Amino acid sequence: MKLIDGNLETTNIEVENTINHIGKRVSLHGSIYKIRRMSGFAFVLLRTKREIIQCIYSEEFSNFNLETLKEESCIKLTADVIKEERSKLGWELRMVEIDILSEPLAESPIVINNKLVDTSLENLLDYRPITLRNEKERAIFRLQAGVCKGFRKFLSEQGFTEIHSPKIVSAGAEGGANIFHLNYFGKDAYLAQSPQFYKQMMVGVYERVYEIAPVFRAEQHDTSRHLNEYISVDFEMGYIESFEDIMNMEVGMLSYALEELKENYVHELELLKVALPNVSTIPSIKFMVAKELISKKYNRAIKDFEDFEPEEEKLLSEAIKKETGSEFVFVTHYPTAKRPFYAMEDPSNPTETLSFDLLFRGLEITTGGQRIHNYKEQISKMKSLNMKVELFESYLMMHKYGMPPHGGLGLGLERFTSKLLNQDNVRLSTLFPRDINRVTP
């Protein structure tokens, strides 16, 4: 019998620590990202976990033939770290010996080692396993991981408990036809459109909960902002005094995540030339006021009194930015007719709900609001909407046996990332997008 003792020691150095090894011979590993042949020597770019490091090959000090190196070969490298003041890092890596761990069978049909992957969106996504190896492509999803890390740290510090709610469900939270159907051992089941019911139930347990997990929407839209599967950052909190408590929490969460990026993701921010937005305060405007503002300012007739057209969201963001400098804007008091059955109506005007969306650079990234917590109120609302109350028995259990005033929100992780990077298509911030035409790779 062997004993596995969790020993993670290695003789390999991490590229980030190279500067501590000046004057020494070191071991490291990575993929050959690019070979630049010069006269008498070559620059060999090595792709490691997070960075791409320039190494120098020369017959003078390299004990192998450059021709044995292929792009996308994985190697173990022995190199000398030499002080070099002309290098902006202050040192350079001279390749001494290599051990080729694996070689590609073929060259990638798409050039992935230029500054940008210069191809169609279609190709970029079809070849995701390869195109993600591009320096900038992969930086996008490192930043996304950083955003999640920031969100989790913040929510944890604020006393939220992480939950894992089921994705196979017996009823949809959002209603409507936009739901994927599943044959579940002969029973009808669906893919969760949102963790809505579960996070509310869990407010009765922990007061504050959050979940970062996939949700599924069978929407037939084929636009630059729709995905049929996306990561929803959900939180829900009890004992709120106003639905603005939720908006304040979101401002805190966004600020915290951007700070996390600023502190620990400088490499990626610089690579992608990201200018982080200011999120210390976010202006808030009522839905109908916003509608009228856009109508007047841009001389547009209001066609839809219950929702924004995508163009209106862009114009509103533009107007707010001009007026206040903010690239975010909360829109509150959406019409009751357009919000789900669990949305709390404004007691002073039941045609409006105590709800909000958050727009960021012209795109809705969050929907949230206060929920009905009183059993009788919820039942009578459902009946007025001709809903079959008996289908929601387990959901309504919490109302029946006692719930605090509460509310929460859902934020689309890919939409937020995408707008943060000023992209024009949410797919660019989706690792492996699912849309009505795409279910691979």
Q: Does 54 participate in binding a copy of itself (rule CB under 8 A)?
A: no
Q: Does 283 participate in binding a copy of itself (rule CB under 8 A)?
A: yes
Q: Does 35 participate in binding a copy of itself (rule CB under 8 A)?
A: no
| CA distances (Å), origin 2, targets 5, 6, 7 | 9, 12, 13
Q: Which of residues 331-370 bind a copy of itself (CB under 8 A)?
A: none
Cβ nearer to a copy of itself, comparing 4 with 301: 4
Q: Provide the minimum distance between the beta carbon of 5 and a copy of itself in the complex, in angstroms, as a whole number.
A: 4
> In the structure encoding, which two tokens stand for residue 343, read together?
């949305």
Q: Does 295 participate in binding a copy of itself (rule CB under 8 A)?
A: no
Residue 319: helix, strand or coil by DSSP?
A: helix
| CA distances (Å), origin 96, targets 28, 31, 51 | 12, 16, 20
Out of 44, 81, 117, 169, name the contact with a copy of itself by CB under 8 A. 169
Element (H, E) at 346: strand 345-346
Cβ nearer to a copy of itself, comparing 172 with 337: 172
Q: Does 167 participate in binding a copy of itself (rule CB under 8 A)?
A: yes
Burial 98-121 (b: 16+ CB within 10 A, else e): beeeeeeeeeeeeebbeeebebee
Q: Provide the minimum distance between the beta carbon of 334 and a copy of itself in the complex, in angstroms, as a whole number.
A: 16
Q: Does 43 participate in binding a copy of itself (rule CB under 8 A)?
A: no
* Strand blocks (E) in 48-151: 52-58, 74-83, 91-102
Q: Does 133 participate in binding a copy of itself (rule CB under 8 A)?
A: yes
Q: Provide the mask over 88-117, with x wherever binding to a copy of itself is found by CB under 8 A and - wherever it is not.
A: -------------xxxxxxxx---------
Cβ nearer to a copy of itself, comparing 231 with 363: 231
Nearest to 395 by CA among 336, 333, 340, 339: 340
DSSP structural state of residue 292: H
Out of 54, 78, 170, 295, name the contact with a copy of itself by CB under 8 A. 170
Q: Does 284 participate in binding a copy of itself (rule CB under 8 A)?
A: yes
Burial 291-312 (b: 16+ CB within 10 A, else e): bebbeeeeeeeeeeeeebeeeb
Q: Does 431 participate in binding a copy of itself (rule CB under 8 A)?
A: yes
Q: Which of residues 375-394 bind a copy of itself (CB under 8 A)?
A: 375-376, 394
CA atoms within 13 A on the CB side of 77: 30
Q: Count the site residues for a copy of itself by CB under 8 A.
A: 126
Q: Provide the minimum distance between the beta carbon of 39 and a copy of itself in the complex, in angstroms, as a whole number.
A: 28
> In the structure encoding, which two tokens stand for residue 220, read together?
């037939």
Out of 93, 413, 421, 428, name the contact with a copy of itself by CB under 8 A. 413
Considering only the stretches 37-45, 126-134, 300-308, 342-350, report the one whose residues sit in contact with a copy of itself under the rule CB under 8 A. 126-134
Q: Kindly give the residue spans of alpha helices, DSSP state H, lying in 110-224.
A: 121-126, 128-131, 135-157, 196-206
Taking the CB of residue 320, how many other CB atoms lie within 10 A of it? 23
Out of 142, 267, 297, 300, name the contact with a copy of itself by CB under 8 A. 142
Out of 132, 274, 288, 387, name the contact with a copy of itself by CB under 8 A. 132
Please tell me the total number of residues recorded for the chain in this structure.
441
Q: Which of residues 175-194 bind a copy of itself (CB under 8 A)?
A: 180-185, 187, 189, 191
Q: Are 399 and 406 in contact (CB under 8 A)?
A: no
Q: Which of residues 213-232 bind a copy of itself (CB under 8 A)?
A: 213-214, 216, 218, 220, 228-229, 231
Out of 333, 361, 381, 399, name the contact with a copy of itself by CB under 8 A. 399
Residue 188: helix, strand or coil by DSSP?
A: strand
> In the structure encoding, which two tokens stand for residue 239, read together?
């004992």
> In the structure encoding, which two tokens stand for residue 272, read together?
């992608």
Q: Provide the minimum distance between the beta carbon of 410 and a copy of itself in the complex, in angstroms, as a whole number.
A: 15
